């Protein structure tokens, strides 16, 4: 029995030595003094290099000369389409309200349904055309100002909004131009203030400290 056990151990040791597991082992104390040149220490919880867990590079590869953010020309299509859809939805709701108000004395019948549907269609098209035209003018002015100045900042937004209001109300004379420009200036200034609110709040906190 003992001989069989010894032969079994020898066989196991031979196989282990053949696969490299039966050689001289190294303890943690022996490996503790080995310097890791050019390597960061591994995580004590995961057997991975922590450098691979930190993404300090861009996620996407951009073409040569391309900007990291979309410019006004790329955003123009989204702006115009979004304004058209918003105007159509708002106009449809307003048309439904007006249609129900104007036909409240009528009984529910086919003529009343047709009149309400006409009002919804008319108001939806009107508001979609209005907001789409404003978005088109704003985007065009924004692209022109950006290309002229060679910079993209909130000044372009305010200037484009002011010029959009002035051109949209130019048929009302000087008073209409002034009102349209003031409305565009106010709306775009509020948008720029909202867009930079966190940055302004952080700057004020740093100055107070």
Span 78-116, pLDDT tens digits: 899 999 999 999 999 999 999 999 888 888 888 899 999
Give the confidence band of 190 by pLDDT, cuts at 50, 70, 90: very high
Using the predicted structure, report yes or no on whether residue 18 has a pLDDT greater than 70: no
Lowest mean pLDDT, pick from 65-69, 84-88, 156-160: 65-69
Using the predicted structure, report yes or no on whether residue 172 has a pLDDT greater than 80: yes
Q: Which of 117, 114, 137 is nearest to 125 (CA)?
A: 117
Q: Which of 180, 187, 79, 89 is nearest to 136 (CA)?
A: 79
pLDDT attached to residue 153:
85
pLDDT attached to residue 198:
78
What share of the chain has pLDDT > 70, as a percent?
66
CA angle 133, 143, 168 (to 5 degrees): 30
The more confident residue out of 72 and 4 is 72
Mean pLDDT of 136-154: 89
pLDDT attached to residue 66:
52
Mean pLDDT of 66-75: 68
Using the predicted structure, report yes or no on whether residue 59 has a pLDDT greater than 90: no
Using the predicted structure, report yes or no on whether residue 32 has a pLDDT greater than 60: no
Using the predicted structure, report yes or no on whether residue 41 has a pLDDT greater than 60: no
| Under 8 Å between Cβ of 99 and 119 | yes
Whole-angstrom CA distances from 143 to 37, 150, 159, 173 are 53, 10, 11, 26
pLDDT attached to residue 25:
53
pLDDT attached to residue 46:
58
pLDDT attached to residue 58:
56
| Under 8 Å between Cβ of 131 and 86 | yes
Mean pLDDT of 179-200: 89
The more confident residue out of 91 and 72 is 91
CB burial of residue 142 (10 Å; 0-12, 13-18, 19+): buried
Range list of H helices, 103-196: 110-149, 154-168, 173-195
Question: What are 167's two structure tokens?
Answer: 């051109």
CB burial of residue 96 (10 Å; 0-12, 13-18, 19+): middle
The more confident residue out of 74 and 17 is 74
| Under 8 Å between Cβ of 120 and 65 | no
User: Residue length, the chain?
Assistant: 209
Lowest mean pLDDT, pick from 56-60, 186-190, 193-197: 56-60
């Amino acid at each position: 029995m003992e001989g069989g056990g010894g032969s079994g151990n020898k066989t196991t040791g031979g196989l282990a030595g053949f696969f490299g597991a039966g050689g001289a082992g190294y303890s943690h104390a022996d490996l503790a003094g080995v310097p890791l040149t050019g390597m960061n220490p591994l995580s004590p919880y995961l057997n991975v290099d922590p450098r691979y867990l930190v993404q300090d590079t861009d996620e996407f590869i951009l073409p040569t000369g391309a900007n990291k953010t979309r410019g006004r020309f790329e955003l123009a299509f989204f702006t115009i389409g979004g304004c058209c859809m918003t105007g159509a939805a708002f106009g449809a709701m307003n048309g439904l309200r007006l249609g129900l108000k104007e036909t409240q004395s009528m009984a529910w019948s086919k003529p009343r349904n047709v009149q309400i549907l006409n009002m919804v269609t008319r108001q939806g098209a009107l508001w979609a055309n209005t907001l789409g035209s404003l978005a088109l003018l704003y985007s065009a002015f924004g692209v022109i100002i950006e290309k002229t100045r060679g910079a993209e900042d909130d000044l372009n937004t305010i200037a484009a909004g002011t010029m959009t209001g002035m051109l949209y109300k130019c048929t009302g004379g000087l008073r209409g131009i002034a009102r349209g420009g003031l409305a565009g200036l106010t709306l775009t200034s509020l948008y720029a203030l909202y867009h930079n609110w966190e940055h302004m709040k952080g700057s004020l906190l740093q100055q107070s400290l």
